[in-house]
Structure 1
Amino acid sequence: MPRGYVIATIQITDASRYDKYRALASEAIAAHRGRVLVRGGHNEVMEGSAPGRTVVIEFDSLEQARRFYSSLEYTKARAAREGAADLNWFVVQGIDD
């Protein structure tokens, strides 16, 4: 079964509020057996433009990634993020191994 990936591009607008979100989001990711592959870090623009921050989280399936997003744990994290960042958030199905 192909893995599912959450990809988010983020512009942080309030760092202290975003830190609270990040702590809650980390707990939610762990509770849903997600694996953070990219969380911020250096990015280098090769073409176009890059967001302030990129996050990639791997789940065992696309459905598991969807369930994570809708979970009670992550819903609390999203509420904490309000007003702290502008972002794009989507899930992507990986390729079969």
Structure 2
Amino acid sequence: MLILLLTDPAIFEEYKREVPATEFRYGGKYLGRGGLTKVLEGDWEPHRLVIVEFPSIDSLMAWYESPEYARLKAIRQKCATTRIVALEGIAP
């Protein structure tokens, strides 16, 4: 899960436009991207949440450490304060 607080939405547009193709190459698929968020408990007010499913932690890390994502990661780091969390899923 990626939690974003945008500091420069104009720069973020490039990241948002280009990152999906890099995730798809590693088996990533969006489960949630932007859209309405509703806090049910607590005082946290997320600006933007993104949830991407990968086939495994290994494929997630291969994407995250890939050369094609490195350029986009640098863009994201310029235009947003982020928190990224990986959670291993439950086998079917």
With normalisation by structure 2, the TM-score equals: 0.91
For residues 23-62 of structure 1, the aligned pairs below 5 Å read 23-48=17-42, 49-62=44-57
- Structure with higher strand content: 1
Runs of 4+ in 1 over 4 A off after TM superposition: none
Coordinate RMSD, CA, aligned: 1.1
1:52 counterpart letter in structure 2? H
Q: Is the 8 A contact 1:24 1:73 kept in 2?
A: no
User: Shift of the alpha carbon at 1:83?
Assistant: 2.0
Q: For residue 76 of structure 1, report the CA deviation from its aligned partner.
A: 1.3
What's the CA shift for 1:81? 1.7
Aligned length in residues? 91
User: Of the two structures, which has the highest relative contact order with CA contacts closer than 8 Å and spacing of 6 or more?
Assistant: 1
Identical residues among aligned pairs (%): 29
Return the offset for 1:68: 0.9
- Partner of 1:16, secondary structure, is helix
| CA distance in structure 2 between the aligned counterparts of 1:10 and 1:28, rounded to whole angstroms | 19
Distance in 2 between the 1:9 and 1:43 partners?
Answer: 12
TM-score (normalised: structure 1): 0.87
1:37/1:56 contact within 8 Å kept: yes
The CA distance in 1 between the partners of 2:81 and 2:49, in whole Å, is: 12
Once residues 12 and 41 of structure 1 are traced to their aligned partners in structure 2, the CA distance between those partners, rounded to angstroms, is 14
What SS does the corresponding residue of 1:93 show, helix, strand or coil? coil
Amino acid paired to 1:18: F
- Please tell me the residue identity of whatever aligns with 1:50: E
User: Normalized per residue, which structure has more helix?
Assistant: 2
- Structure 2: any 5+ residue segments left out of the alignment? none
